[in-house]
Amino acid sequence: MLKSKEYLSDIADKCIKIAKKLGASDVEISVSNIISDTINYRNKKKEQSDRSEILSLGLITYIDKKKSNVSTSNFDEYNLTSLIERCMQHTRISPEDEFVGLPDKDSLEINFKNLDLYDPKLLSHNFKEDFLADMEDEMFSNPKIKNSNGSSFTEVKSNFIFANSIGFCEGYNTSSYSVFCEALAEDNNQMERDYEFNVSRYSNKLGNPRNIGKYAADKACKRLGARKIKSGKIPIIFDKNVSKTILSLFSSAITGSAFARGTTFLKNYLGKEIFCKEVNILDDPLIKQGMGSQCFDSEGVKNQKISLVKNGKFNELILDTYYSKILKTKTNGRSGGTTNLYIENGKNDLKKVIRDQKKAFFVTELMGRAGDITNGNYSVGASGIMIDNGELAYAVNEVTIASNLLDMFKNILPLNDLQFKTSTNSPSLLVKSMTVAGK
């Protein structure tokens, strides 16, 4: 059972009082309790079952413009006192940094919205096993599926408190349920793999296990008979399950850290149009039951929906208190990074876009490191389906696609199949031209 909010708050309060007594000018502390339960299946049999219960504490102490931090999972009173003493010792010998410190008190969240992030329902072990059994049973009903590469059901429930020495002390429960199924298809001595997954805050929104198994099997079978294609420049369509990797690269390139250090290829593009006008990129922490939703950021700062890109124009950075001070601006409540990050739906239908292509590559999987945010170079291994005269013609593998991220951004057209599945989501994306290295 999760520790109560009162229990975690009490520990946080005691640690802050000890640190202040030892000379800290300010203190931040997070106390969390996470319970995780995972069952793994393979070939219709239970392979492994794991459970973990973690109680952890992270403490930051400040002495004016000096800062140090420690963490522990040992909540013995003597250990906590000793830990805080050691943290204070390190703080005293740390270098001064004019930008360290707590956020302004008036930037802290005081109006806490109920984002419906916790499912109190307790799932039985049998329920999870039955879910996995149904998923794999349906997967193996496809005659070309000869093996399972593993299926899993994971339930995570957590509670946390974040507190500081200027009066903030809040936290809340969260839950997440995730299922995964990976199929191995075989035909004519060729084997291919693919997977399907789902994740949700609530267990009753995971979907039908048989549908998940069927999708995993169908996707693996579509890879059979894969071949290389000739090198050249052609349009690329990124399936919605992989297009979000481009969004992740963009978000990594627009952090306060990257801009303060000048280590991003976008350092001179804030306020400029870098996408086509159909591209809108938003980050919304207040979506009910969202996988990235939060009531406040990791500093306790209030956060609202922000428009990072509007009509192609790059408008906002991802900022916390520290880097906003360096950049002489204000935090936008993104300590800890993005929340529910997504590209808005475009106007074009995926099926229609496919029909309009004389020759294009529909990418369904990426392999390896994709992009370098320091210079914008993009190169990654890919597999998918070749589009020939508007039809999904045959599977493709062992190719590399390459371009420059700025060129890609300017030529991205968002389609209209956005799904909120994880904390970073994107509709399928059409890039008008990229280099494909095949045979």
Looking up residue 63, the CATH number of its domain turns out to be 3.30.2290.10
d(CA 338, CA 294): 10
Residue 15 lies in a domain: yes
One domain, residues 94 and 238? no
Alpha carbon of residue 273 to chain centroid: 26
pLDDT of residue 141: 97
d(CA 381, CA 326): 38
Residue 133 lies in a domain: no
| Domain final position from 77, 107, 137 | 107
Residue 10 lies in a domain: yes
What is the number of domains present in the chain?
2
- Find residue 53's DSSP bridge partners: 35
Residue range(s) defining the domain that contains residue 60 = 5-35+44-107
| Domain final position from 107, 134, 152 | 107
d(CA 213, CA 221): 12
56 exposed, middle or buried (CB, 10 Å; 0-12, 13-18, 19+)?
middle
Residue 21 lies in a domain: yes
Residue 102 lies in a domain: yes
Residue 399 lies in a domain: yes
d(CA 256, CA 426): 23
E strand or H helix at 149: strand 145-164
d(CA 195, CA 149): 9
- pLDDT < 70 positions in the chain: none
pLDDT of residue 369: 79
Q: Give the residue from 422, 228, 436, 398 showing the smallest Cα distance to 342.
A: 422
HSE of 204, CA atoms in CB hemisphere, 13 A: 5
pLDDT of residue 1: 87
One domain, residues 385 and 239? yes
One domain, residues 242 and 380? yes
One domain, residues 241 and 98? no
Residue 426 lies in a domain: yes
d(CA 381, CA 366): 6
> Strand 306-310 to strand 281-283: parallel, antiparallel, or no bridges (unpaired)?
antiparallel
pLDDT of residue 439: 76
| Domain final position from 107, 123, 144 | 107
The token pair that represents 170 in the structure block: 């809040």
Residue 132 lies in a domain: no
